[in-house]
Structures are given as C-alpha cells and as structure tokens.
Amino acid sequence: MHLFNFSTTKSRGFTLVELVLVIVLLGILSVGISGFLSMGSQIFIDVKNRASLISIARFAIERVTRDVRSAVPNSINVTLVGNRQCIEFVPIIAAANYINVPALPGEVSRNSFNVIDFGEAERLQFEAQGAVDVVVYPLNSNDLNASLNSDGASKLWTLNNISFDTSEDPEWEVSFSNTVLFEEDSPTSNLFFIDSPISYCVFNQELRRYVGGNPNNGGGGSGVLMANNIHTPTDAGGQTIFPFELTNIAQFRNATVMFVLQLEKNDEVVVFNNEIHVPNVP
C-alpha cells in the first residue's frame, strides 16, 4: 500500500504596485519613442521644405539670368511703385553686323539694307512672321520707343513684309515694304532684331514674369508665377531690401544686375546671390 502526498501550489498574479510600475515604465518609453519619431518627422519636413525652396530659387534665378543676358544693351530699367519692384528690358532675338543702313547724318530713308549672315533659323522666323522690330545704337531705355525726331529718324523701326536675298551669302540684303531712317550709325555696325519687352516683378511674396508690359506701367496682365514664398527683409534703418539692383558702369563696359533672392517657408530660409553681367556696348 502506497501513500501519496499531494501538495498544491497556489498561482500568484501581479500586484498593484507591479502593474503601476509597468505602466509608468511603458509611459516613459512611449514618451521617448514618440519624441524620437517626432524629431525624425520634423527633420524630414525641414529637409523637404529646404529642398523645395532651393528648387524654386534655382529655377527662378536660371530663368531670370537667361532672359536678362539676352537684353538689348542699355535697355534694362529697374522701377519701384509702392512695394512692387520690377526689372524690365527688351530681349534680343538676333544680333547682326550691317554693311550699310540708312542713318543720319548724310543718309536718306529707304526700304533695304545689307547685313552679314546672322543665322538661318532667325531669318526663316522673321520671314514667316512678316514683320520684326530693329534698333540701331540704343544708348538708354527711351531709345527703345519708336518716336521720330524732327528729321523723321528713330532708333527703332518695325520692318514690315520683311524678306531676305541670300544669293550673295554671307552678305544678305534685307528688304521690307516701309522706308526707315535711323537716328545714327553704330560705331560697331551692330543692329538688333528685338522682341516684346519682358519684366520680372516682385510683389506680395511672388516673382512674376510679364511680356509686353508690367504692372508698374499699368500693363502686363496677371503675369506668370515664377516663384513664391519670397521674403523682402529690411535693413537697420527699416528700409525694405528689394531683390534687384542695377549698376550701369559705362557704355564700354558691362552693366551689372544684382539679384538677391531670399525665400522663407516654415522657418526655413534660403538666400541666393546672383550677379548678372549684360553686354553694354551697342
């Protein structure tokens, strides 16, 4: 006969103190983890904002630089009306060296002149559109207005029904239906085929591009948005620092356009300084 002794073991749960300790520890861990995750998310957002600002700034600077470098010599002008600053200029479609043009003194108006070959693509473009503006020896932005002086001469003329005789290439004869007389010869025998005026204006934290006019002169329409989130800081005296600054050194040296673009978004700030040199010899 065997006697068996059975012992019973009681199962124990967690005490209240242990549960409270676990909850406190989990709370501390969750706060630390959430802080880490939040910091990582904020870094991602900051990097994304900065990358977006840099992309916008690079596009705007590249576009402004490309357009301004194509400006007719001495055609650039910076205007400020209220808090809207605009840089305006007349772009060159093609530049050419001429053999002869009807110009004062000593010339009479006529409907043709001769130039050196300046490019087949541009020639075909002018013949297709039928008319193009030409300027000779512009010394300031006012010379880009088609106003006649007392001799019936002007710096700027529109050549209507334009055609080219290229049989003596590289010398081309340019013919048109109207007669022209330029105000004076260019010492470098240069003439410029030009397009409609272009303006870039900064206003209400936006940079916009206008063709044919600008808001400071009461035209230009709504323009095309080039960049936003633009910040115009103030100096120590409380004066607004605008993006564009023009320096015309001399007729025989480059004009210089300083373009300082500062963009700001969600406390992220990106500043670009760009110096644009524009040939200033007409």
Residues 210 and 254 in one domain: yes
Residue range(s) defining the domain that contains residue 250: 50-88+198-278
9-22 b/e with 16+ CB inside 10 Å = b?
A: eeeeeeeeeeeeee
Number of domains in the chain: 2
Residue 171 sits in the same domain as residue 228 = no
Enumerate residues 6+ apart whose C-beta is below 8 A from 46: 266, 268
Q: Which two tokens stand for residue 204?
A: 């209400």
Report if residue 145 sits inside a domain. Answer: yes
**213 and 273 co-located in one domain:** yes
Same domain, 145 and 273: no
Q: End of a domain among 194, 210, 240?
A: 194
Using a 10 angstrom Cβ sphere, with 0-12 exposed, 13-18 middle and 19 or more buried, the burial of residue 267 is exposed
Q: Are residues 271 and 150 in the same domain?
A: no
The set of residues, in sequence order, having a beta carbon less than 8 Å from that of 130 and lying 6+ positions away, is 160, 161, 162
Contact status, residue 193 vs residue 94, Cβ threshold 8 Å: yes
| 268-278, strands of its sheet edge to edge | 244-248, 255-265, 268-278
Q: Summarize the confidence of residues 48-59 as an average pLDDT.
A: 84
Residues 120 and 254 in one domain: no
The Cα 150–Cα 135 span in angstroms is: 18
pLDDT digits (tens, 9 = 90+) for 161-196: 999 999 999 999 999 999 999 999 999 899 999 999
Do 77 and 102 sit in the same domain of this protein?
no
Q: What is the pLDDT of residues 108-144, one digit of tens each?
A: 999 999 999 999 999 999 999 999 999 999 988 888 8
* Whether 69 and 110 share a structural domain: no
Q: Are 159 and 132 in contact (CB under 8 A)?
A: yes
Does residue 174 belong to any structural domain of this protein?
yes
Let me know: does 54 contact 62? Beta carbons within 8 Å: no
Tens of pLDDT, residue by residue over 55-113, are 888 999 999 999 999 999 889 999 999 999 999 999 999 999 999 999 998 889 999 99
Tell me the percentage of the chain whose pLDDT exceeds 90: 50
Q: Is residue 71 situated within a structural domain? A: yes
